């Protein structure tokens, strides 16, 4: 019997994703497909989505028993009405009606809520006041709608729940961190073997560089004070051109800047012993768990992350890297690891042991298990 599901993402899927928010829905869609699901996909522009919703509602009206086992959605960083900048209230309301229609058919509803950035200063300080008068009520309304209809709200980490209106103490919230693509390449560096100390420690940073959320100056300071370290930074070219001046005083020949796309990242990870996700502390960042952490795990590369963060809790619990609480502590850790290659090899073995349970396919399987349990429980009475 064919297993069917509904997949929802209120935007077009990118052909060349540039951020984690664009990557995740594509990977989850691919993962559900790899599990054998026949997927009714609701993505695209607002007009495309409402057309697909209309077809789905007509299809559902023809039978009292739904053929779809569950609905899974991925949110965008802004409510659909804000993101689409639509003036068609009719279309916007038609899209939102999907939750009520599916609920009436007793189809389990799960949705991943991506981001709570709008509750922090980085949003308040950059949005014009008159736009805020529109956007803030819509952020709240979106969550009110989810609270009314969803069976499960998925979050990147449970630490974020305390910031989510209507869900702060709700048992329907489940953590669904990013997943990873498993690379089976054998890339243990031959110049970093046990008893080979002192060695050159090759580090990799992949991600944004725009302060305050992605302020990498403490990381660069620690690298500059560590003689046995080389660092490669891969970031967007336009970001580097805009923010190079903020980092120039901390650059040297031991730091390389590249602008790799997704297909070009594999050799960078293969050439690295450790990846870095170390930033200036920020409350918002402390609640998130970056997709780049799992990307590193997929390549079998252990990580160093900032302390007092959700990412730090995850790294320590899974034993896949190290935690540093300051630039000075990071410097000391790098000095220790450069002279302790067996420690890196042991941590890498840990990464290889746990990464299968953090694949995108495993994330999709977890979603299906949770939502199918709700479906089975609701039909057993």
Q: What is the pLDDT of residues 314-323, one digit of tens each?
A: 999 999 999 9
Mean pLDDT of the chain: 88
Pick the more confident residue, 219 or 90.
Answer: 219
pLDDT at 376: 84
Distances in Å between the alpha carbon of 201 and those of 197, 257, 266, 272? 10, 17, 18, 8
308 close to 291: Cβ distance less than 8 angstroms: no
> CA-to-CA distance for 106 and 94, rounded, in angstroms?
19
In three-state secondary structure terms, 352 is helix
> CA-to-CA distance for 220 and 34, rounded, in angstroms?
40
Residues 6+ apart with CB under 8 A from 277: 205, 207, 290, 292, 293, 303, 304, 305, 306, 311
pLDDT at 87: 56
Query: Element (H or E) spanning 266, and its range?
Result: helix 265-270
pLDDT(194) > 50: no
The strand pair at 173-175 and 274-277 is best described as unpaired
Q: What is the pLDDT of residues 144-183, one digit of tens each?
A: 999 999 999 999 999 999 999 999 899 999 999 999 999 8
pLDDT at 138: 87
Percent of the chain at pLDDT exceeding 90: 68
3-179+359-378 topology per CATH: Rossmann fold (3.40.50)
pLDDT(89) > 70: no
> CA-to-CA distance for 177 and 200, rounded, in angstroms?
33
Instruction: Name the region of 243 (left: φ>0; alpha: ψ -120 to 50; beta: rest).
Output: alpha
Tell me the two tokens of residue 294.
């799992």
Residues 6+ apart with CB under 8 A from 318: 350, 354
> CA-to-CA distance for 247 and 260, rounded, in angstroms?
19
In the chain, CATH 3.40.50.2000 sits at 3-179+359-378, 201-356
Q: What is the pLDDT of residues 252-281, one digit of tens each?
A: 999 999 999 888 899 999 999 999 999 988
Q: What is the pLDDT of residues 345-370, one digit of tens each?
A: 999 999 999 999 999 999 999 999 99
Distances in Å between the alpha carbon of 129 and those of 80, 123, 178? 20, 11, 33
Tell me the two tokens of residue 170.
């709700």
Q: Which of 278, 264, 193 is nearest to 231 (CA)?
A: 278
Tell me the two tokens of residue 341.
């290659």
Q: Which CATH number fits domain 201-356: 3.40.50.2000, 3.40.50.1000, 3.40.50.970, 3.40.50.280?
A: 3.40.50.2000
Distances in Å between the alpha carbon of 187 and those of 154, 183, 266, 349, 360? 34, 10, 10, 12, 22
């Amino acid at each position: 019997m064919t297993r069917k599901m509904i997949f929802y993402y209120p935007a077009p899927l990118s052909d060349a994703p540039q951020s984690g928010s664009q990557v995740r829905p594509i990977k989850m869609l691919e993962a559900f497909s790899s599990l054998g699901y026949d997927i009714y996909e609701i993505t695209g522009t607002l007009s495309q989505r409402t057309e697909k919703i209309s077809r789905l509602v007509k299809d559902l009206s023809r039978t009292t028993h739904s053929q779809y086992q569950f609905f899974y959605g991925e949110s965008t960083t802004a409510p659909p009405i804000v993101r689409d900048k639509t003036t068609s209230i009719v279309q916007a309301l038609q899209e939102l009606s999907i939750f009520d229609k599916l609920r009436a058919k007793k189809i389990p509803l799960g949705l991943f809520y991506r981001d709570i950035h709008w509750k922090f200063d980085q949003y308040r300080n950059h949005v014009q006041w008159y736009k805020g008068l529109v956007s803030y009520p819509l952020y709240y309304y979106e969550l009110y709608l989810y609270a009314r209809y969803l069976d499960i709200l998925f979050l990147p980490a449970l630490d974020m729940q305390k910031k989510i209106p209507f869900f702060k103490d709700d048992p329907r919230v489940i953590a669904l961190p990013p997943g990873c693509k498993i690379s089976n390449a054998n890339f243990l560096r031959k110049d970093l073997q046990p008893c080979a100390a002192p060695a050159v420690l090759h580090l990799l940073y992949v991600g944004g560089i725009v302060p305050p959320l992605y302020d990498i100056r403490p990381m660069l300071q620690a690298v500059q004070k560590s003689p046995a370290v080389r660092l490669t930074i891969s970031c967007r070219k336009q970001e580097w051109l805009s923010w190079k001046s903020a980092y120039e005083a901390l650059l040297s020949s031991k730091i390389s800047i590249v602008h790799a796309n997704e297909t070009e990242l594999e050799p960078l990870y293969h050439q690295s012993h450790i990846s870095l996700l170390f930033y200036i502390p920020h409350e918002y960042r402390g609640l998130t768990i970056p997709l780049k952490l799992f990307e590193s795990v997929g390549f079998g590369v252990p990580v160093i992350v900032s302390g007092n963060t959700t990412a730090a809790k995850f790294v320590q619990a899974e034993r896949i890297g190290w935690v540093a609480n300051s630039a000075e502590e990071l410097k000391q850790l790098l000095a220790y690891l450069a002279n302790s290659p067996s420690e890196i090899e042991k941590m890498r073995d840990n990464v290889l042991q746990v990464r299968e349970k953090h694949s995108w396919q495993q994330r999709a399987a977890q979603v299906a298990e949770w939502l199918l349990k709700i479906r089975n429980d609701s039909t057993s009475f």
